[in-house]
Amino acid sequence: MRLRSFFFSIFSFSHSPSLPSSSSRFSSLRAAMSPALEKSRQGNGECNEVSKSKVTVVGSGNWGSVAAKLIASNALKLPSFHDEVRMWVFEEVLPNGEKLTDVINKTNENVKYLPGVKLGRNVVADPDLENAVKEANMLVFVTPHQFMDGICKKLDGKITGDVEAISLVKGMEVKKEGPCMISSLISKQLGINCCVLMGANIANEIAVEKFSEATVGYRGSREIADTWVQLFSTPYFMVTPVHDVEGVELCGTLKNVVAIAAGFVDGLEMGNNTKAAIMRIGLREMKALSKLLFPSVKDSTFFESCGVADVITTCLGGRNRRVAEAFAKSGGKRSFDELEAEMLQGQKLQGVSTAREVYEVLNHCGWLEMFPLFSTVHQICTGHLQPEAIVQYRENKL
């Protein structure tokens, strides 16, 4: 415990030039909320029940359950939030015949996606998407990115009033006119502002309260970003705001492609030197593509938790690396769909679909030769190249 406190004090101090101390920062946040989230106060300094913010987490997988746990712990402590945190759960029937939502509400535990971890007595699982978001004015989206278009369509016209959103979703939608980031998809389809939260965050480690960092990307006013920082921050989970939604979100998206490449290296037992080289090259391509797509992306964003730190942790311990390692060990003979079903117990692999989406963007824009590593990852995933080609990416004909 002393070691955790020591590290937290060091990391907090390192960000002190831009952020005041926790107590002064949080007190100032409550006095400087965005207009959509201003809270009227009673004489004793507490918020009226009607004016308190209500939070719904849209998603209940591994990371979604951890997000609900973080938010629920703060909702109980902060007077400006309702105690109850709703969590939309895609209903499933467990092997024992019980519904997943019933088990979560009975045991306070997501026994399928985050077993052994209590979410908080104030987390309520709801299988009805529309009912889960009803009356909520703070929406946290955390589902596989391939489901987000359908979710937004279901919620179109159902979100009313002053609502703020944040996306923890890693991925993008590729349309005829070009790539569409998930935060933009949410904003356009639902008509609400959307921040993003990305970082070096392996969910199972945060669930057992090992120290970690994350980055909130925001556009416009800093005030709403500070509110999200307040809602997610704990002594073991430190969140820093950055005025760069696209940069933060693209880091969280593209690093999964780099993790697939790192997994190939591990599966072929090429060693740490090779893996370090692939990570460096991958980060370089991440930065170059991000700035081509959005010239406003800041160089400094790549040194935040969402950038280099997320690349490191995902290439060392993420699910994309792990499944790609198994793919390479099979010589590319076992499909990613087969390995995903076998290894992830219902969780979704993001890196392979993101590699395909990135390839589509590069091909459409005529940029394939500028991003040989990204292009090679996709070609290996689709069987056009063998896993060994990951170290011959410069020689591959695109």
Closest CA to 210 of 5, 4, 15: 4
Structure token pair of residue 229:
């920082």
Tell me 165's DSSP state: E
Phi (first) and psi of residue 314, to 5 degrees: -70, -35
Rounded to 10 degrees, what is the CA torsion of 244, 246, 251, 253? 150
255 is an active site residue: yes
10 Å CB burial of residue 159 (0-12, 13-18, 19+) is: buried
Asked whether the beta carbons of 197 and 63 are under 8 A apart, the reply is: no
Residue type, 155: L
Tell me 393's DSSP state: G
10 Å CB burial of residue 77 (0-12, 13-18, 19+) is: exposed
Measured in residues, the chain has a length of: 398
Cα 395 to Cα 86, 279, 364, 377, 392: the distances in Å are 51, 18, 21, 13, 6
Residue among 52, 54, 69, 255 flagged as catalytic: 255
Nearest-angstrom CA–CA distance, 27 and 35 = 17
Count the Cβ atoms, other than its own, within 10 Å of residue 7: 13
Active site residues: 255
